[in-house]
Amino acid sequence: MNIIWLGHGSFRIETGNHVLLIDPWLTGNPTLPEDQHDAAVAGATHLILTHAHFDHVADMLPLARKLNIPVVGQYDLMGYWSEHETIETVGFNKGGTVDLGGVTLSMVPASHSSTFGSDQGPKAAGSEVGYMLRAEGKTVYISGDTDIMADMGWMGDYYKPDIGILSAGGHFTMDMKGAAYAAKRYFNFKTVIPCHYTTFPILEQSAQDLIDGLPGVDVIEPQVLKAISV
């Protein structure tokens, strides 16, 4: 399995015949060069959405149409898109699991928000979620944007993920110290990959606090478009 950071909270996960794009933010992403956009999405088989904030959803509909692949996400928003946007969707909800053909995806809670802007102010768009992805005998926890939450206790005990992709930039999500606390208290990760940081000055610029807080865990600071093999 290759985990490839596309900057911010976006990832490309290659496993078997699948190429999963997690919250692929291309347009306006300052950490992903425009001349690399096509390479970032080449061969994608599924689009996976955690929530509807612009830095996660902006390219979702254009990519679904361009690549002719399904969007996988929370039921309410997927149902609306399926009816009004004429794209293929896979909608399910927290507690549910879908089989994408050798890769299973379980939806788990997150603690954040999920809205988009409109002329009438912010509008709710489903709810924020994370995922437990199982493939190649591994379980990857994709936190999505979240704070520390008590639900991580049962999630770690029940799913037993060995790899964590954790939003850890602070301000909008837990910060590096918070992510280290959550990982140590609720999970038993072998590998942790931070994200949702360095993109803007308001976010944390280093993962050192996460590294220092998790001795014995392989904390990998991702590099844009450089594969992490797990």
Is 121's pLDDT higher than 90?
Answer: no
Determine phi and psi for 74, rounding to 5 degrees: -65, 140
CA 227 from chain centre, in angstroms, equals 16
**pLDDT classification of 22: cutoffs 50, 70, 90:** very high
> For position 118, what pLDDT does the model report?
82
β-bridge partners, 14: 2, 19
Q: Are strands 191-195 and 218-219 parallel, antiparallel or unpaired?
A: parallel
- Provide the whole-model pTM: 0.97
Closest C-alpha to 38, from 80, 6, 14: 6
Q: Which pair of structure tokens corresponds to residue 175?
A: 């910060």
Is 124's pLDDT higher than 90?
Answer: no
> For position 111, what pLDDT does the model report?
98
Rounded-to-integer distance, Cα 19 and Cα 17, Å? 7
Rounded-to-integer distance, Cα 24 and Cα 129, Å? 16
Mean pLDDT of the chain: 96
% of the chain exceeding 70 in pLDDT: 100
Query: What are the domain boundaries of the chain?
Result: 2-229
CB count within 10 Å of CB 140 equals 27
Q: Which pair of structure tokens corresponds to residue 202?
A: 């308001």
CB count within 10 Å of CB 157 equals 11
- Across the range 130-147, mean pLDDT stands at 98
> For position 125, what pLDDT does the model report?
85
- 2-229: CATH topology: Metallo-beta-lactamase; Chain A (3.60.15)
Tell me which residue has tokens 């450089």: 226
Name the H helices within the chain.
37-41, 54-57, 60-67, 75-84, 151-159, 176-186, 208-213
> For position 68, what pLDDT does the model report?
97
> For position 120, what pLDDT does the model report?
84
Closest C-alpha to 189, from 141, 151, 221, 143: 141
Helix axes of 151-159 and 176-186: crossing angle, nearest 10 degrees: 50
Rounded-to-integer distance, Cα 131 and Cα 103, Å? 12
